């Protein structure tokens, strides 16, 4: 009798247990996602790498010099969750609504996965006519950021735009005036909370933006889409892709529902047994138990025992099914872990290969730079030697030209001197000849005169005999002459 009374309570407890499990399986939302989904969905759009500081991170295939998370190829929109980032990337549903962004030691933006959904994991500032936001760092939540905790967002992580442009469809090319603007702004501490890790900053409220811009602010509704691709806006709805946990979770929920229904059927059987038990008790209280009644009681007890055995067998089958499911889940989990480990090892090998290739490329680049430097140095030395040779040749040519010019001048001067000497000699010779001719002429004249005088003197005695008078007259004439 005690077993008959306890049986409905046991069945009711099982119903509550499995009913609670079913409700938990149905009540999953945006956080109903696994890390494996990120690995599968994001692999075509980037590279999973093992970071020594942050572990397994994802690096998007974008131009890292121009890319800024929550700024490049996207926009802000006001929703029931606050300011929500609407990305134009096909992969934007994950890194901008889950996890954290960080700028690593190579000055590259990488994403650290997490399974908690949010409209945007950023910190906000306002002031001086600007709104600003920056990605929350790894391990940073609202309590740490608000309470201080020694964490300061790096200044180069902040993005600032004029308040009137907060909901523009695109933002201008980023220019860094962060430090100047940061000193003119303050933190916006508006938050939306669903718990510790589910609390995030909402940014400026709709009425704050309305006052700052003098424009009406449109508030959108966020819906979950099962179609992969970029986030879309239609009318008052923003559709963000979010993959489900997978068929495995659905099959588990279905098995649980069937188990619960079986327990409910068993509970109904237990109620029948209970009613039969109460009838038996009431019959025993009458004190008129006869042989037929005892037969009925025995039959009822046999039926109850069969039902108990059926319930026990069903419970055993359910336990076996549950154990088998747990074993399958453990095996699947182990297989996924092994696959993840193999993938991590493959990624590590690929990363090592990439690092080695990068090192080789750096070495090749250094060698090329060294060769270029050596070649440039050699060219400079050759150019210097050629310049020196040209200078020496030019100097030698100038010296030769100067020497030739001096020789020519000397020859010309010598020739001129020779010509002058010759002319002077000729002049002297001519003068001397003329003088000699004059002297010769004078001498001839003198000789002629002397000869004439002598002839006259010789002819004088002959005339003296002719008289004195003619002789005196002749003497007087010669004296006058």
Q: Is the dihedral of CA 23, 24, 29, 32 positive or negative?
A: negative
DSSP reduced 3-state for 117? coil
Closest CA to 256 of 14, 29, 32, 21: 21
Q: Tokens 């098995």 belong to which residue?
A: 255
Give exposure, 174-194, as e/b (b: 16+ Cβ within 10 Å): eeeebeebbeebeebeeebee
| Degrees, nearest 5: CA angle 336-342-346 | 140
- Per DSSP, which regions of 70-169 are E strands? 74-79, 82-87, 100-103, 109-112, 122-127, 130-135, 159-162
CA distance 267 to 14: 9
CA distance 316 to 56: 43
CA distance 233 to 256: 37
CA distance 275 to 40: 56
DSSP reduced 3-state for 478? helix
Q: Tokens 């990337």 belong to which residue?
A: 89
Q: How is the beta sheet containing 122-127 ordered, strand by strand?
A: 159-162, 130-135, 122-127, 186-188
DSSP reduced 3-state for 27? coil
Domain ranges of the chain: 2-26+248-339, 35-244
Q: How far is CA 20 from the centre of its chain?
A: 49
How is residue 298 written in tokens?
A: 């025995």
Closest CA to 130 of 200, 205, 66, 186: 186
- Per-residue pLDDT for the chain (481 aa), expressed as one digit of tens each? 444 444 444 444 444 333 333 333 232 355 568 899 999 999 999 999 999 999 999 999 999 999 999 999 999 999 999 999 999 999 999 999 999 999 999 999 999 999 999 999 999 999 999 999 999 988 766 555 544 444 688 999 999 999 999 999 888 766 667 888 999 999 998 887 755 566 788 899 999 999 999 999 999 999 998 888 899 999 999 999 988 654 333 333 333 333 333 333 333 333 333 333 333 333 333 343 344 444 545 555 677 777 788 888 887 887 787 678 767 766 776 676 677 778 778 877 887 888 888 888 888 888 989 988 999 899 899 999 999 999 999 999 999 999 999 999 999 999 999 999 999 989 988 888 888 888 888 888 898 888 888 888 888 766 665 555 545 445 555 555 4
Q: What is the pTM of this model?
A: 0.48
pLDDT the model gives residue 32: 64
Beta partners for residue 59, in sequence order:
47
CA distance 273 to 301: 10
* Pairing mode of beta strands 232-234, 159-162: unpaired
Q: Tokens 């993959």 belong to which residue?
A: 243
Q: How many CA atoms lie within 13 A of 127 on its CB side?
A: 12
How is residue 226 written in tokens?
A: 């099962």
Number of H helices, E strands in the chain: 8, 15
CA distance 248 to 244: 10
DSSP per residue, 372-403 = HHHHHHHHHHHHHHHHHHHHHHHHHHHHHHHH
Q: Tokens 């802000």 belong to which residue?
A: 76
Euclidean distance between the first and final Cα of the chain, in Å?
213
CA distance 413 to 281: 164
Burial of 27 (0-12, 13-18, 19+ CB in 10 A): exposed
243, 38 Cβ separation under 8 angstroms: no
């Amino acid at each position: 009798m005690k077993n008959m009374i306890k049986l409905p309570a046991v069945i009711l407890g099982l119903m509550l247990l499995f009913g609670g499990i079913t409700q938990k399986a149905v009540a999953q939302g945006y956080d109903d996602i696994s890390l494996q989904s990120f690995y599968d969905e994001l692999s075509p759009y980037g590279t999973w790498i093992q970071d020594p500081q942050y572990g397994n991170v994802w690096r998007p295939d974008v131009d890292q010099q121009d890319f800024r998370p929550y700024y490049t190829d996207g926009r802000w929109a006001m929703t029931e969750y606050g300011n929500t980032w609407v990305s134009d990337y096909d992969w934007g549903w994950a890194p901008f609504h889950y996890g954290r962004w960080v700028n690593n030691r190579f000055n590259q933006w990488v994403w650290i996965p997490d399974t908690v959904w949010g409209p945007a994991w950023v910190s906000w500032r306002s002031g001086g006519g600007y709104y600003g936001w920056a990605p929350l760092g790894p391990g940073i939540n609202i309590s740490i950021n608000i309470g201080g905790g020694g964490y300061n967002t790096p200044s180069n992580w902040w993005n600032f735009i004029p308040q009137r442009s907060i909901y523009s469809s695109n933002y201008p090319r980023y220019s860094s005036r962060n430090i100047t603007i940061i000193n003119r702004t303050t933190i916006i501490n508006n938050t939306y909370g669903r718990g510790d890790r589910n609390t995030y900053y909402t940014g400026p409220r709709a009425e704050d933006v309305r006052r700052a811009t003098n424009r009406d602010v449109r508030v959108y509704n966020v819906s979950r889409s099962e179609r992969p691709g970029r986030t879309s806006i239609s009318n008052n709805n923003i559709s963000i892709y979010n993959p489900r946990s997978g068929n495995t979770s659905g099959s588990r929920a279905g098995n649980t529902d069937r188990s619960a229904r079986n327990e409910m059927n068993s509970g109904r059987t237990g109620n029948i047994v209970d009613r039969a038990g109460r009838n038996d008790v009431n019959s025993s209280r009458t004190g008129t138990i006869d042989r037929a009644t005892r037969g009925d009681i025995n039959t009822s007890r046999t039926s109850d025992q069969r039902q108990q055995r059926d319930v026990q067998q069903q419970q055993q089958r359910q336990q076996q099914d549950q154990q088998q499911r747990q074993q399958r889940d453990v095996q699947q989990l182990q297989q996924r872990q092994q696959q993840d480990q193999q993938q991590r090892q493959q990624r590590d090998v690929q990363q090592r290969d990439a690092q080695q290739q990068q090192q080789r490329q750096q070495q090749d680049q250094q060698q090329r730079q060294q060769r270029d430097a050596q070649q440039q140095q050699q060219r400079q030395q050759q150019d210097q030697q050629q310049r020196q040779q040209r200078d020496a040749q030019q100097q030698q040519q100038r010296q030769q030209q100067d020497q030739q010019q001096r020789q020519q001048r000397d020859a010309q001067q010598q020739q001129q001197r020779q010509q002058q000497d010759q002319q002077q000699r000729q002049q002297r010779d001519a003068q001397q000849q003329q003088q000699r001719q004059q002297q010769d002429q004078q001498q001839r004249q003198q000789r002629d005169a002397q000869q004439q005088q002598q002839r006259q003197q010789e002819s004088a005695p002959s005339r003296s005999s002719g008289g004195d008078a003619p002789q005196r007259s002749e003497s007087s004439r010669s004296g006058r002459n």
